[in-house]
Structure 1
Amino acid sequence: MFGDMMNKLQETQKKVEETKERLKNVSLQESTTDDLLKITISAAREIKQIEIADELLEDKEQLEDYLILTLNKAIQKANDMHEAEIASVAKQGMPNIPGMDMFK
């Protein structure tokens, strides 16, 4: 029984690692409401691209504000997806074991 449980844990850990790798290739986009700034981020929380409209380059303060707000929203979106995917994989492998948040 203990051996089966260890095999299940190892199999689930492998699936979690595979999911983390897959999430590196999942792109999410976030932008300002006026589309002057667009951020592309992977579900593994890596910034991939930042697009800035020319008119934003004329207003440093607005650009800085937009960057902070939009980057934070993009990171939160990626974080939510990352955690949901990892939790789903971990739960599939071990539905009756408490403490699954260790795989986040």
Structure 2
Amino acid sequence: MFGDIMGMMGKLKETQQKMEDTKKRLDTVLIDEESNDGLLKITLTANRKVKSITIDDTLLEDKEQLEDYLVLVMNKAIEKATNVNEAELGAVAKDGMPNIPGMDMFK
């Protein structure tokens, strides 16, 4: 019994380290998104940190249009980054869950 608990604790600690390693790796995974016409481009990490924004000069002439573009493209980029982030971290969490009776909802 005690050995089982220690084994589970070790597995959880190992999973926690894998989660931290995955989070660090996701800082290097880049998500690119751009407007349909290519006038605005945004790059985020899979941890949803903005790395770059490229704005075509024609958008600088219309503040309202630029704001609309930023909202649309940022939301699409954040959604993509979130999907990658959740899939990667979810896979690590699922793989690292110990086999506890009644806790198979994570499998």
Query: Under a length normalisation based on structure 2, what TM-score does the superposition of the two structures give?
Result: 0.88
Identity of aligned residues (%): 57
Instruction: Show structure 1 runs of 4+ deviating over 6 A.
Output: none
Name the CA distance, whole Å, in 2 between partners of 1:83 and 1:49: 22
Match of 2:25 in 1: 22
Query: Under a length normalisation based on structure 1, what TM-score does the superposition of the two structures give?
Result: 0.91
After superposition, residues 1-104 of structure 1 pair within 5 angstroms as 1-94=4-97, 96=99, 98=103
Name the CA distance, whole Å, in 1 between partners of 2:91 and 2:24: 15
Residue-by-residue CA offset, 1:49-92 (whole Å, 9 max, x unaligned): 00000001011111000000111111111111001100001111
Indicate the structure (1 or 2) with the bigger Cα radius of gyration: 2
Q: After the TM superposition, which of the residue ranges 54-63 and 88-97 deviates more from structure 2?
A: 88-97
The Cα RMSD (Å) is 1.4
Name the CA distance, whole Å, in 1 between partners of 2:29 and 2:56: 24
- Number of positions where the alignment pairs a residue of Structure 1 with one of Structure 2: 100
What stretches of structure 1 of length at least 5 have no aligned partner? none
